[in-house]
Amino acid sequence: MVHAIDLYWSMRSPFCYLALDRLLVLDRQEDVTVNVKHVWPGAIRHKSYFKNLNPNYPSYHRRDTERLAKYLRLPYSRPKPDPLVFDKQTMEPLPLADQPHIGWLTRIAQLAVEAGAGMAFLDPVTRLIWGGMVENWHEGEHMPRAVMETGLDFSDLCAQADAEAERLDAIIDANNDTLSAVGHWGVPCMVFEDEPFFGQDRLDLLNWRLDEAQKR
């Protein structure tokens, strides 16, 4: 019996990146499949997202991601540029239609899912963006080379993403609705047998539940 895990993922989430290696281990189990469900960043999905955060959030978030990366022995740095662009006056994210990166990035990630390469795409591409080894990850041959590792063609994906933007956006929006329906709002969120496990720090609990199911 194959056990399916739905993985809700944002291309802008550092905690998704910090969970990646452990999720790849899960996906490589013969009786487990991980179904990637892309959603937009929380700041796009929820209006006034940052205005409602505690003032201590930014500094704690930075400290927490940096120490977790060290603990996991993962290279890590905030992406340059940020996949999500903000209005410098209001500090609100630009409308999706005006975003220079997150739109095409999430759409080609969704196309990779449809091509049967959802997790394979996340492996090199997420490392490129969050691994701290490359600045201007969106320029030159960085992204085409990363995508090539999945067996897909970056130019073809971008052309298809442009042509099918409306359809892809509808799928990504629907993923947000299903995430809400199972009882959560954040990423990474893993859903197994209708039970949500939010955050990279819940992967041990997910594995425990999975072990129980495998013993049935």
| Region 149-165 average pLDDT | 97
Does the pLDDT at position 50 exceed 80? Answer: no
| Region 165-182 average pLDDT | 97
Does the pLDDT at position 48 exceed 80? Answer: no
| Region 174-188 average pLDDT | 96
CA angle, 52 then 63 then 75, to 5°:
120
- 93-110 pLDDT, tens per residue? 899 999 999 999 999 999
Backbone angles phi, psi at 33, to 5 degrees: -130, 135
Rounded to whole angstroms, the Cα distance separating 111 from 121 reads 10
What range does the domain containing 185 cover? 3-214
The reported pLDDT for the residue numbered 176 is 95
Tally the domains of the chain. Answer: 1
Under DSSP, is residue 56 helix (H, G, I), strand (E, B) or coil?
coil
Mean pLDDT of the chain: 94
Instruction: Enter the tokens of residue 18.
Output: 């910090």
> What CATH number has the domain bearing residue 32?
3.40.30.10
Rounded to whole angstroms, the Cα distance separating 199 from 188 reads 5
| Region 174-201 average pLDDT | 96
The CA R_g of the chain, rounded to the nearest whole Å, is 17
